[in-house]
């Protein structure tokens, strides 16, 4: 029986844009969970890893205070809070996770007088990310005022509260609906795996390593496809040139059919219908395409 101190805790957004993908990734990394009655915890059933379900803004702080060893949070939240922490020990980014992509962008009213970032000098910029915005303005040597708003930032220019905004954008639909357009990107963001600023105990450290290896394996499978087929040996070179492979395909001879081969290739997500039609044209048959769930090097 493993004591609670030897269990790892990972903080994940309870309900929001990152929740489903975060839990989906943990499941693909092989974790199975049982929910606590108060729905604040997911207890790991097959690994000593528990999930704490919280608001995303609380995640870096939970790691700082030592309540969790790992977390999944948007880089935008992590970097904003890191700047506010002014050099005190703060969680670090272990790796990007490939979901929750967005950008923190400077946007201004369509058809207005602001066209370039230099035009922002002396103006007011509304944002929920005052640290990142002020830091970027400093880097660009632009002297503008930052106004903190915690919601509906996109309507600030229409309300006369600010001349421009600095907000998260993914599709751009919200900006367009509010007659705003981007003039600069302040930060490219996505969900990231973060680690505590405190050195873990040896047992925890081994568990973190094991857990991160599992996450890595689940992520490296993302988008990869395993292609299997049989084809005339004479078409092999052309097939090799055609395929978007990650490594050299394996080629096997077939019993009693010296002119044919069986091929197995690990391909990128680009492998599409056109590739398959082209393979058929080259004489390939028995084509099988499988989504790869995880890979271990």
Contacting positions for ligand PRT (CB under 6 A): 13, 16-18, 55-57, 74, 76-77, 100, 102, 167-174, 189
In the bound state with ligand PRT, the residue whose beta carbon lies nearer, of 132 and 137, is: 132
Tokens of 23: 């839990």
| Helix boundaries (H) for the chain | 19-28, 59-64, 75-84, 130-139, 156-159, 173-177, 202-220, 236-242, 273-281
DSSP strand pairing (191-195 vs 92-96): antiparallel
Binding range to Zn ion, per CB under 5 A, among 3-11, 55-63, 119-127, 224-232: 55-63
CB of 62 to Zn ion, least distance (A): 13
Q: Could you say which of ligand PRT, Zn ion, none residue 133 binds, taking C-beta under 5 to 8 angstroms by partner kind? A: none
* Three-class SS state of 228: strand
Binding range to Zn ion, per CB under 5 A, among 38-46, 48-56, 90-98, 252-260: 48-56
CB of 175 to ligand PRT, least distance (A): 6
In the bound state with Zn ion, the residue whose beta carbon lies nearer, of 57 and 293, is: 57
∠ Cα 186 189 190 (to 5°): 175
In the bound state with ligand PRT, the residue whose beta carbon lies nearer, of 132 and 229, is: 132
In the bound state with ligand PRT, the residue whose beta carbon lies nearer, of 88 and 171, is: 171
Q: Could you say which of Zn ion, ligand PRT, none residue 216 binds, taking C-beta under 5 to 8 angstroms by partner kind? A: none
56 binds Zn ion (CB under 5 A): yes
Contacts with Zn ion: how many residues (CB under 5 A)?
2
CB 12 within 8 A of CB 68: no
CB of 47 to Zn ion, least distance (A): 28
Q: Tell me how far CA of residue 83 lies from CA of 96, 200, 236, in angstroms.
A: 19, 24, 55
Q: Could you say which of ligand PRT, Zn ion, none residue 173 binds, taking C-beta under 5 to 8 angstroms by partner kind? A: ligand PRT
Q: DSSP of 82-127, one letter per residue?
A: HHHTTTS---EEEEE-S-S-EEEEEEEETTSS--SGGGGTT-EEEE
Strand order through the sheet with 102-109 = 145-148, 124-127, 164-169, 102-109, 180-189
User: From the CB of residue 86, how many other CB atoms can be counted at a distance below 10 Å?
Assistant: 8
CB of 59 to ligand PRT, least distance (A): 9
CB of 12 to Zn ion, least distance (A): 13
In the bound state with ligand PRT, the residue whose beta carbon lies nearer, of 81 and 204, is: 81
CB 297 within 8 A of CB 224: no
């Amino acid at each position: 029986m493993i004591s609670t101190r030897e269990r790892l805790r990972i903080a994940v957004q309870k309900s929001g844009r990152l929740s489903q993908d975060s839990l989906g990734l943990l499941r693909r990394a092989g974790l199975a969970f049982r929910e606590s009655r108060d729905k604040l915890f997911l207890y790991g059933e097959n690994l000593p890893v528990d999930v704490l379900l919280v608001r995303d803004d609380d995640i870096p702080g939970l790691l700082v205070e030592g309540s969790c060893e790992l977390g999944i949070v948007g880089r935008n939240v992590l970097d904003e809070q890191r700047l506010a922490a002014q050099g005190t020990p703060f969680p670090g980014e272990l790796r990007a996770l490939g979901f929750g992509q967005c950008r923190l962008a400077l946007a201004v009213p369509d058809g207005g007088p602001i066209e370039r970032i230099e035009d922002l000098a002396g103006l007011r910029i509304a944002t929920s990310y005052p640290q990142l915005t002020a830091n970027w303005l400093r880097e660009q040597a632009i002297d503008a005022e930052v106004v903190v708003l915690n919601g509906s930032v996109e309507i600030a220019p229409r309300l006369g509260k600010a001349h421009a905004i600095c907000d998260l954008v993914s599709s751009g639909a919200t900006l367009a609906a509010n007659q705003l357009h981007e003039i600069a990107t302040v930060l490219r963001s996505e969900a990231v795996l973060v680690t505590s600023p405190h050195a873990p105990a040896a047992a925890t450290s081994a568990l973190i390593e094991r857990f991160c290896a599992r996450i890595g394996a689940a992520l490296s499978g993302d988008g990869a496809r395993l292609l299997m087929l049989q084809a005339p040996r004479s078409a092999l070179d052309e097939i090799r040139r055609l395929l978007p492979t990650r490594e050299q395909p394996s080629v096997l001879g077939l019993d009693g059919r010296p002119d044919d081969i069986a091929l197995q290739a690990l391909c990128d997500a680009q492998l599409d219908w056109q590739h398959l039609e082209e393979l058929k044209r080259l004489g390939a048959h028995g084509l099988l395409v499988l989504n790869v769930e995880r890979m271990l090097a």
